[in-house]
Chains A and B, each alone.
Chain A
Amino acid sequence: GDSVTQTEGPVTVSESESLIINCTYSATSIAYPNLFWYVRYPGEGLQLLLKVITAGQKGSSRGFEATYNKETTSFHLQKASVQESDSAVYYCALGEAGNTGKLIFGLGTTLQVQP
């Protein structure tokens, strides 16, 4: 079945440093799955950070970027300069085939940004 693998956490970086959280996927049910990054801040539910539905395209939001790479089946999340407020859990997800709207999630990566 479909699956998502992402960087194991926790990941600790200092404020203003760069960040990359790796995400690779395996999609057997669909050739071009939609790809998403969600973020969960402490005490809150998951919220969409960015999505990309076309291979080769890049999504961006709040200074974060991710490029849909069909060749390497990757969707890594990057940010050039993190802030303490970016501390959260980040989830990579892919959308299954069909119109169920179901998402397959990675395990989540906890990011801790030190001041």
Chain B
Amino acid sequence: EAAVTQSPRNKVAVTGGKVTLSCNQTNNHNNMYWYRQDTGHGLRLIHYSYGAGSTEKGDIPDGYKASRPSQENFSLILELATPSQTSVYFCASGGRDRATPLYFGAGTRLSVL
């Protein structure tokens, strides 16, 4: 069964520390996405990718970097974590066809203290 797996599921980080969130998909999808979900904001797109080696800025990219080393893997990197980045992060994969739905991972709950 096609799947999107995120790790870790929960993370506590210190302000100023580096955090890496990982995502792996077995859907063989070209596109991958990182969203964050906050109360009152719904899901907002941080970065996305069209394939290995590609990363694109989403709607709220400041403070985040992304890396897509392979078709299957897409990472979100917080070089200097801040408390405002405390959130739930979702990774998703999808095809290039606009009608193809996105398939989401279970989410990573990040707390920056």
Contact = CB atoms under 8 A, between A and B. Distances in A.
A76 B90 CA distance: 25
B4 to A, nearest CB: 7
B106 A103 contact: no
Interface string A101-113: 1110111100000
A36 B21 CA distance: 27
Contacts of A48: 101-103
Contacts of A34: 98-99
B75 to A, nearest CB: 17
Nearest to B58: A102
Interface string A59-100: 000000000000000000000000000000001000100111
Contact of B106 (A38, A45, A51): A45
Interface in A14-52: 34, 36, 38, 43-48, 51
A101 B104 contact: no
B74 interface: no
A45 B40 contact: no
B41 A101 contact: no
Interface of A: 34, 36, 38, 43-48, 51, 53, 91, 95, 98-103, 105-108
25 contacts: A34-B99, A36-B101, A45-B4, A45-B6, A45-B104, A45-B106, A46-B90, A46-B104, A48-B101, A91-B42, A91-B43, A95-B98, A99-B98, A100-B48, A100-B56, A101-B33, A101-B94, A101-B96, A101-B100, A101-B102, A102-B58, A105-B43, A107-B40, A108-B37, A108-B43
